[in-house]
Structure 1
Amino acid sequence: MIISIWRYSHLTLAISSFLLLTVASVTGIFLAFEPVIEKSRDYKATGFDTLTLAQTVPLLKEKFPGIQEISVDDHSFVLIKYATEEGGDKQVYVDPATGKVLGTPTEKLPLFQWMTTLHRSLFIHETGRILMGITAFLLILIAVSGIFLVVQRQNGWKNFFSNVEKTGFAQYYHVVLGRLSLFFILAIALTGTYMAVYRFMPTPGKASALVDETQIREEPLKNLVDFTVLRETALTNLQKLQYPFSDFPEDYYTVQLKDRELCINQFTGDVLAQQNYTQTYQLANFSLRWHTGRSGTIWSLLLALASAYILFFIYSGFAITLKRRRSRSKNKFKAKEARIVILVGSENGGTFKFADAIYTQLIRHGEKVFLTDLSNFTAFPNAEHLIVMTSTYGQGDAPSNAKKLADRIKQNPQSKSIQYAVIGFGSRSYSQFCQFAFDVEKLLQNTTWAKAILPVYTVNDKSPQDFSDWITEWTRKTGFSMIMPRELLEPNTADLKKLLVTSRTNLDEESSFIIQFKSAQLKHAMSGDLLAIYPRNDHRERLYSIGKVDKNIQLSIKLHEHGLGSSFLNNLQQGDVMKAKLVKNQHFRFPKMAKKIIMVSNGTGIAPFLGMISENRRKIPIQLYCGFRNRSSFTLYEPFLKEQLSKRSLAGLNLVLSREEEKEYVSHRLLRDSDAVLQCLKEGGVIMLCGSLSMQKDVLEILEDIYKPEDNLSTEVLLKQGRILTDCY
């Protein structure tokens, strides 16, 4: 369970550094605006980028006879220092092409002075610098551990920037904003760490130390403007130039460029010595510019935003942690007294809402109940019923409070038989939907004391309807008096978007119809995603697979006599507006890089395939096997599919009718075409299934028979490789 290592590392690092990170972030926000204010003075002269030192150095010496040095800052402002006639020194910004004075540098604002000292050293000098350097390094580790947690949450690297399931404000934006600001936060952390480390590195040597004063000549005398090195050096490459203090040969020009330092004979222009900067020194300068925002106004503002994000992450991270450890129903009875034991596996605390509701209701009915984490599994000498409610984390992993379950079950065999039921909580948008619930089922099946009274039930997106189905069946099996808790009947209607009905067909002979919607808010919807509607504006949610056709969201609907969702959609007419929510279905996407594709559907399961076929711009060979009861059921889709055949977006159409003509199912046709199916798989093809679960079961069994002779092909392997994709219900 490597995920737990990353999670606890992430949390430990955050807790150990949050105080100093808060200080660094708050001061960082303020300090990010300092270069913006400096840049706004705009002392950069026109033509700065075209000038050489040969044009600027003699000019400024003539204009300012007492000039001592020229420096160019990160904003390309040219600052000179010179001795006045009154005997003092003065600094001014100048136009390097004309010598015109552009302004006078102002003292650093007291606020920025105070913030800079606090940010760098906490007012405790070298010790403070070390502490802030360690804090920057811890921020790197926090960011890296956060990356791995997002990878686990998003089901792999390829989904790193995919849409994030909304499981609460703090957690949702902790992930979303974390991905957006990742580069900037790492830039802050890496540059801050390097600057702290650089202070303990040896300082680079000076070019002046290499000058052999015995070899300095005064002839041939050249004008300053004719110095070759000055003519070949752009002003943009200058950091600082110091003029000679006197006319003695031992005084020379000292020039600090961005990559080296030079000593230049003031009479002949010869380079007396040259010292190239080390990579560590250049990297330190680079780190300073980027860490302080001196590289540009936009970068400064991005750093301020990233610092603000860090403050939000501190808040949201602790909010998530508190939610996971939130106050739960206090056990009235001890574990050894309980007749009913409820064990919960939850990553973010959401599953406890359901467990608490069941616990409270059973307690009110006078039952002895004990509720705890799955990792707290122990001996329950009086238990008769065990209820396991668990979510799944990442790629089928156990949530953080359930990772010890397997060991605890081995260590604590029960003294008598216990009836159990397992409920999995998750989202069908993930390929490992409720996987850990099924893993728990296997653990319990391998014991001698656990007796299942129900198959594993799954709850999609915390659906009250799914949970109600389990309650109904569990109470029927056990005889306990329990109803669906009222607090769980709140509608799941967050983030609803408006959709406009652009067209719909009339009901065909099988009471099926196609309806299309347009929505500016759902432009990112893709074929294979799910549309969640709430026909009665309550907790009852209905999900429909969508096809994206001509940039519209298209549904294929079968009207059922008492169907809540299908009746609602059937009452919509062109021009009507409804509200719905998009549920991303990342594991059921059109495989754009596949060499061949076989699509298998029955009934309205054809819906996502219609969109995928229309989006097949690369003309990947697609064979569609679609099953219907009668030919009349197919007339709704026939014109569209014939058009796709003519466009070569669809390579082959296999219509299978169960009540007419050959009276067969799609599984039978696949078996008949087994050679072509096997060849498709051998060539790296993909098989996609959408429709009823019974169809999926039959097709998977047939596929097992088809590739049985092949040692390297199996359903388990093909599912893991993403070469069999299913979205059945």
Structure 2
Amino acid sequence: MLRHLHSIPGLIVALVVTVIAATGAMLAILPAWEQAQSTGSPAGVSVATLAEAVAEKYPGVERIERKPSGALVVYYFEGDAPGADVVDPTTGDKIEPYAPSDFARTVTQLHRSFFAGNTGRVIAGVGAAAMLLLSLTGIMLLANRLGGWRKLFSPIRGDGIRRWHAELGRLALPGLTVSALTGLYMSLATFGMISDGSDAEPDFPDAVAGTEAMAIGDIAPFKATSLDNLRELRFPYQGDLNDAFTLTTADGMGYVDQATGELMNYMPNGMVKSVYETVFMLHTGQGLWWFALLLGPSALAVPFFAATGVLIWWRRRAATPRIADNHGAQSADTVILVGSEGNTTWGFAKTLHEALTAAGHKVHTGAMNDLAKSYKHAERMFVLAATYGDGAAPASARQFLDKLSTIPTAPQFPVAVLGFGDRQFPRFCGFGREVEEAIVARGWHQFAPFATIDRQSVQEFARWGEEIGQRIGTPLSLVHVAARPKTARMVLVERVDYGTEVQAPTSVLRFAAAEGERNGLVARLFRPSLPRFHAGDLVGILPPGSDLPRFYSLASSARDGVLEICVRKQPGGLCSGYLHGLTPGDAIEAFVKPNPAFRPRRGKQPLILIGAGTGIGPLTGFIRNNSGRRPIHLYFGGRSPNSDFLYREDLRTWLTDRRLSGVRTAFSRSEERAYVQHKLTADADVLRHMISRGAQVMVCGGRDMAQGVVAALEKVLHPLGLDVGTLKEQGLYVEDVY
């Protein structure tokens, strides 16, 4: 529901909100510009002094207005021709003609009414309401994604577009909320739906002296009012002794008898008037120019939100699979319920649906939010539950637990829960585990233990399918192929081989963009280039004869000019065998998958890199690009220094040029028979010192190694009152584990 409240208004009013925000950002500059041009009002100068001087120099004066910037403008008639001048606050001398900018006037009309009168004002009001709704629902969605309000300012993980949509939203939210709320208030006041306080102005006095006017400089209320407090002074109509001055200050409004100087019918500003003036000041920045400059950048973010929001919505919609042969919930023998945020899990559900349908089952696939109280013909149920952010329910499953609690009796059919998540988060598959625990607590029978899929691993999904097939007596081949991104043709240009003499080959493979079929000038103009990527991202490679991409962590970034991976040849490994069989000049088709969760944080704080085997690959990419010479300490583990010391010469070079601060190696088949966790324990004091200074720990390699590293670091961190979970929440411990 919250997702719909955020996305639907955004899609409907994207253009309106963008225009309002863009013009608002332009108008936010005006108060600062006017402030810079204004001479201001010197302290101690009274309204009496200025009014007397102006009356002498401008016989046809109508009124004096003090602008929020402090500029004083005299409006007058010279004959029948109106005029307006900016005047000196002490002498009343003309400084320059007052001429509001045509550009500012045009932008203001576009901002407030789209040049469409009251109809346009209604549209602008709806736009302000939509912006307020988008701001509030957006921050609520972000809080859900990060695991609660207390984690609202923790690091945001995710792919580029969604991450920057959330990052910029978090920064712009205060300004957008103020702009939207105050804009909505002013719109409602414009149409009289709420009061702006103008209906509480004092009535004109019933009688004035009607005799000869006294000298303006002697009028006591004027002498008692400083220019800083003046808003407007209206002069009596020339020659009309029964008219009066109208004095408006920051505190209230009243009339002044021109003959006696008496202040009559004075009415101080009420609460409603004060609130409206405060709202007006916050929204326009008039009188608060520095605040307007803070609001301007927030408004400039809205066009970015609109564009990325539409793109995110379109990607989510395009990624939702169309499931064929989807039986009704009450006629199916197998029910698949899906909890997904970005629709990726729906793709896995479709693969399971198709495999079960091919085996002769009647399958219904729907959202977890659509959980029914009963399924008449169901013999089994699968719940595929993704976790949103750090343990939150995804969009299509937020109502599931509430609906589950209303079902009085457990069904007769068994249930299997499969969780999808990312091990980078402390609460890996947290929502899936919560679902599994709730089902058990309600007495539902499970026919398979809770299982997890890390970062959409198709290999893990296929293994789970084999186990499920055995349990239900229906062989299942879950060959899931995600929507394949556009591939790029890459040519192997260099390879460095290790371990061939001990029959444990590992190769560093470097690829360049393949030349196209063009010739001559066209070829020179359209030179091939690698896709954009960073060290730590993933490259997907489809070996011949397989529809399943294999992913490898990248040991280079695009600016290095090559795409580099480190691959160990696995016994019977289809893709690793294919890659090890390549020779320079051979080409592959590959695509890059961003992995922004596994990148060093910006800054000068130390990096502690821990890797074993081919896990050193992306870590070397971080070192290679350490042009700023931040402290980087590498812990590397392998089997033997004679066959497995990957990147040995590169590490020596980086130590010499100080891109690398230190290396600690551990080889399990050497005399010391050590693993990286042993080196971590031995360096406990040094590690504690670096971590206390904000060092980030990055781990890459096999799962067993990673578990050993966690156990060792828990002991290292204990004296600091920290643990690995805390570091993960702070973005100071990240891992790429396989």
Q: Same fold (TM over 0.5)?
A: yes
Q: Provide the rounded CA distance (Å) in 2 between the counterparts of 1:633 and 1:351.
A: 41
Q: Give the AA of the match of 2:666.
A: V
- Corresponding position: 1:186 with 2:142: no
The CA deviation string for residues 279-329 of structure 1, in whole angstroms up to 9 with x for no partner, is: 975663464466579899999998997887898899889989989999866
Calculate the TM-score normalised by the size of structure 2: 0.66
Q: Give the counterpart of 1:655 among 665, 682, 689.
A: 665
Q: What's the % identity of the aligned pairs? A: 20
After TM superposition, the structure 1 = structure 2 runs for residues 423-434 of structure 1, keeping only pairs within 5 Å, are 423-426=418-421, 430=425, 432-434=427-429
Kindly provide the amino acid, as one letter, of the partner of residue 115 in structure 1: A
Q: Take 2:576 and 2:249, find their aligned partners in 1: how far apart are those partners? A: 72
1:531 aligned partner: 538
- The question of 1:492 aligning with 2:496 is answered no
Give the letter aligned to residue 575 of structure 2: L
Aligned-pair CA distance for 1:372: 3.7
- Asked if 2 retains the 8 angstrom alpha-carbon contact of 1:532 and 1:582, the reply is yes
The structure-2 alpha-carbon separation of the partners of 1:105 and 1:649, relative to structure 1 and needing over 3 Å to count, comes to: closer
Cα separation, 1, equivalents of 2:303 and 2:439: 47
What is the CA-CA distance between 1:643 and the residue it aligns to?
A: 5.9
Q: Which moved further from structure 2: 199-208 or 632-641?
A: 199-208
Structure 1's unaligned 5+ residue stretches are 1-6, 123-128
Q: What is residue 558 of structure 1 aligned with on the other side?
A: 567
Which position in structure 2 is the counterpart of 1:397?
392
- In 2, the alpha carbon distance for the partners of 1:612 and 1:30 equals 39
Per mean C-alpha deviation after superposition, the further-off stretch among 474-483 and 691-700 is: 474-483
Distance in structure 1 (CA, Å) of the matches to 2:636 and 2:26: 65
Corresponding letter in the other structure for 2:362: K
Amino acid corresponding to residue 673 of structure 2 in structure 1: K
Letter in 2 for 1:543: Y
Given that 1:187 and 1:291 are in contact with CA atoms closer than 8 Å, whether structure 2 keeps it comes out as yes
Cα displacement (A) at 1:152:
2.8
- Of the candidates 473, 496, 501, which is equivalent to residue 506 of structure 1? 496
How many angstroms does 1:144 deviate by? 2.0
- Asked if the contact 2:40/2:70 (under 8 Å) is kept, the reply is no
In terms of mean alpha carbon deviation, does 176-185 or 271-280 score higher? 271-280
Report if aligned partners of 1:219, 1:268 keep a CA contact under 8 Å in 2. Answer: no
Which residue is 2:143 aligned to?
151
Tell me which of 195, 199, 207 is aligned to 2:195. 199
Letter aligned with residue 698 of structure 1: G
Counterpart in the other structure of 1:115: 116
1:345 Cα deviation from its structure 2 partner: 1.7
Shift in alpha-carbon separation, 1:554–1:633, aligned structure 2, 3 A: farther
Q: Distance in 2 between matches of 1:568 and 1:584?
A: 22
Shift of 1:558: 2.7
1:342 CA drift (Å): 1.8
Query: Residue 275 and residue 264 in structure 1: after superposition, are their counterparts in 2 closer, same or farther (change >3 A)?
Result: same
Query: Relative to 1, partners in 2 of residues 1:556 and 1:369: Cα closer, same or farther, differing over 3 Å?
Result: closer
CA-CA distance at 1:557 after TM superposition: 0.9
In 2, the alpha carbon distance for the partners of 1:22 and 1:520 equals 35
Alignment CA distance shift 1:534-1:27 (3 Å)? closer
Aligned to 1:332: 327
Q: 1:238 to 1:464 in 2, by over 3 A?
A: farther
The amino acid that maps onto 2:451 is V
- The equivalent position to 1:456 in structure 2, one of 433, 451, 460, is 451
Counterpart pick for 1:627 among 618, 637, 651: 637
Residues 317 and 280 of structure 1: CA distance in aligned 2, closer, same or farther (over 3 Å): farther
**Structure 2 CA distance, aligned partners of 1:101 and 1:672?**
78
In structure 1, C-alpha distance between the alignment counterparts of 2:537 and 2:309, rounded to whole Å: 34
Query: Which whole-Å CA distance do the structure 2 matches of 1:264 and 1:726 have between them?
Result: 76
Deviations 1:225-255 (Å, cap 9, x if unpaired)?
Answer: xx9999x859xx9754433435799977656
**2:612 and 2:705 in contact (8 A); partners too:** yes
Q: Does 1:359 pair with 2:353?
A: yes
Paired with 2:5 and 2:142, the residues of 1 have a C-alpha distance of 17
**2:381 pairs with 1:386:** yes
8 Å contact from structure 1 (residues 601, 627) kept in 2: yes
Match of 1:284 in 2: 276
RMSD: 6.5
Alignment CA distance shift 1:651-1:91 (3 Å):
same
Q: Distance in 2 between matches of 1:104 and 1:158?
A: 43
Distance change >3 Å, CA 350–CA 606, structure 1 → 2: closer
Q: Which amino acid aligns with 1:557?
A: C
Kept after mapping to 2: 8 A contact 1:591/1:686: no
| 2:613 maps to 1:603 | yes
**Alpha-carbon distance in 2 for matches of 1:343, 1:59:** 81
The TM-score with structure 1 as length reference comes to 0.67
- The CA distance in 1 between the partners of 2:14 and 2:567, in whole Å, is 56
Mapped to 2, the partners of 1:338 and 1:717 lie a distance apart of 45
2:496 alignment partner, SS class: coil
Tell me: CA distance 1:616–1:269, structure 2 relative to 1, closer, same or farther (3 Å): farther
Cα pair distance change 1:17/1:564, threshold 3 Å: closer
Structure 2 CA distance for aligned equivalents of residues 565 and 416 of structure 1: 46
- How many Å separate the matches in 2 of 1:220 and 1:399? 72
| Offset from partner CA, 1:524-556 (integer Å, 9 cap, x none) | 94x6x4233445697625230546799888855
CA contact (8 A) 2:26 2:296 kept: no
**For 2:199 and 2:77, how far apart are their aligned partners in 1?**
30
Query: Partners of 2:203 and 2:317 in 1: how far apart?
Result: 58
Pair 489,249 (structure 1): closer, same or farther in 2 beyond 3 Å: closer
Q: CA deviation at 1:640?
A: 4.9
Aligned mates of 2:652, 2:101 — CA distance in 1: 76
Kindly indicate whether the alpha-carbon contact (under 8 Å) linking 1:630 and 1:657 is maintained by their aligned counterparts in 2. Answer: yes
1:695-726 CA-partner distances (Å, limit 9, x unpaired): 1233445566x479989676666655666543
